[in-house]
């Protein structure tokens, strides 16, 4: 059942998370009241979908800036359209042909954007420029529910634990992508965050892990790795997941503080997939 206000309409995508927002014009400057309604929906539904529309890069960046400070990604080879806040992932060459090279295999594992920084990602805002006929979906799982469904012994076991998140671990060592440059590595050293964080705006507890989490502070490395792998798997419940099959020119917005996401594979040799992304910086998890 769609929740309709005088400012927008929100149609839930599943019983637990995700809503399609309509009645909002992203191509125009957005008034404060409308943005407030969008933001309230963002906090409530965790993932927002906007129907296919033309959204020039400047408008995407302007929309992202309403959420907060937009991250300039350390991996500057992905910067797009003259906006350092935009990050493009594409498997097409200059003539528009698929190259066969997947631009970031790290996105195929469940993760939360920017967890490898002290100040982590708040909203991620992705516009789908080109989408494959099959595959290349984006899946989301609810990390409030992931925490709430842990049994009391699990909750007691992980209370107070902190995980070290490391982009160099997840990207380079785990997925075999191009290594970070020395300067990129020095700019983004590993950081530790609580495994259970409290969402700063809703006040609800959520699990906070994902693929960038490497080990647990104060625990033998292998034991911490095993714990992280087990919790990352336990976090995903089919009935608390939204699987998005993209149409070109859709926009998705999600809250990295309380969902994990992943992309699904596609045939990068025969099909194109191009997205442009902004990630808004949030806060230091607590
Ligand atoms: Fe991501």
Answer for the pair 46, 39: CB distance below 8 angstroms, yes or no.
no
Token code pair at residue 110: 């469940």
Which stretches does DSSP call E strand in 96-154?
121-130, 138-142
- Ligand 1 midpoint to CA 8 (Å): 27
- Ligand 1 midpoint to CA 177 (Å): 15
Residues 6+ apart with CB under 8 A from 8: 21, 22, 23, 24, 34, 37, 38, 41
Mean pLDDT of the 202-211 span: 98
% of the chain at pLDDT higher than 90: 80
**Whole-number pLDDT of residue 75:** 66
- Ligand 1 midpoint to CA 272 (Å): 18
Q: What is the pLDDT of residues 138-178, one digit of tens each?
A: 999 999 999 999 999 999 999 999 999 999 888 777 666 67
- Ligand 1 midpoint to CA 227 (Å): 22
Distance CA 47, CA 253 (A): 6
- Ligand 1 midpoint to CA 183 (Å): 22
Token code pair at residue 63: 């929309």
- Ligand 1 midpoint to CA 153 (Å): 30
Beta-ladder partners of 142: 259
Q: What is the pLDDT of residues 46-101, one digit of tens each?
A: 999 999 999 999 999 999 999 999 988 766 666 667 788 998 899 999 999 999 99
**Whole-number pLDDT of residue 175:** 66
- Ligand 1 midpoint to CA 6 (Å): 33
Q: What is the pLDDT of residues 1-16, one digit of tens each?
A: 566 678 899 999 999 9
- Ligand 1 midpoint to CA 35 (Å): 24
- Ligand 1 midpoint to CA 113 (Å): 5
- Ligand 1 midpoint to CA 276 (Å): 12
Terminal alpha carbon distance of the chain: 34
């Amino acid at each position: 059942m769609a929740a309709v206000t005088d400012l927008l309409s929100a149609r839930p995508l599943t019983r637990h998370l995700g809503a399609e927002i309509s009645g909002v014009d992203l191509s125009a400057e957005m008034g404060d009241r409308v943005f407030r309604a969008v933001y309230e929906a963002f906090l409530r539904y965790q993932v927002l979908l906007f129907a296919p529309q033309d959204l020039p890069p400047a408008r995407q960046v302007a929309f992202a800036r309403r959420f907060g400070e937009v991250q300039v990604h350390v991996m500057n080879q992905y910067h797009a359209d003259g906006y350092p806040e935009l990050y493009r992932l594409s498997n097409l060459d200059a003539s528009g042909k698929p190259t066969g090279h997947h631009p970031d295999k790290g996105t195929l594992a469940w993760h939360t954007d920017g967890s490898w920084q002290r100040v982590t990602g708040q909203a991620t805002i992705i516009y789908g420029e080109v989408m494959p006929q099959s595959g290349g979906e984006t899946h989301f799982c609810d990390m409030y529910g992931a925490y709430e469904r842990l049994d009391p012994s699990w909750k007691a076991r992980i209370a107070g634990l902190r995980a070290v998140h490391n982009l160099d671990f997840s990207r380079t060592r785990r997925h075999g992508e191009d290594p970070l440059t020395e300067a990129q590595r020095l700019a983004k050293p590993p950081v530790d965050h609580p495994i259970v964080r409290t969402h700063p705006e809703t006040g609800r507890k959520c699990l906070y892990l994902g693929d960038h989490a490497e080990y647990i502070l104060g625990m033998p490395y292998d034991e911490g790795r095993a714990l992280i792998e087990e919790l990352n798997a336990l976090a995903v419940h089919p009935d608390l997941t939204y699987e998005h099959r993209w149409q070109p020119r859709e926009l998705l917005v999600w809250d990295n503080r309380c969902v994990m996401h992943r992309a699904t594979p596609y045939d990068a040799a025969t099909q194109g997939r191009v997205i442009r992304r902004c990630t808004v910086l949030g806060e230091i998890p607590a």
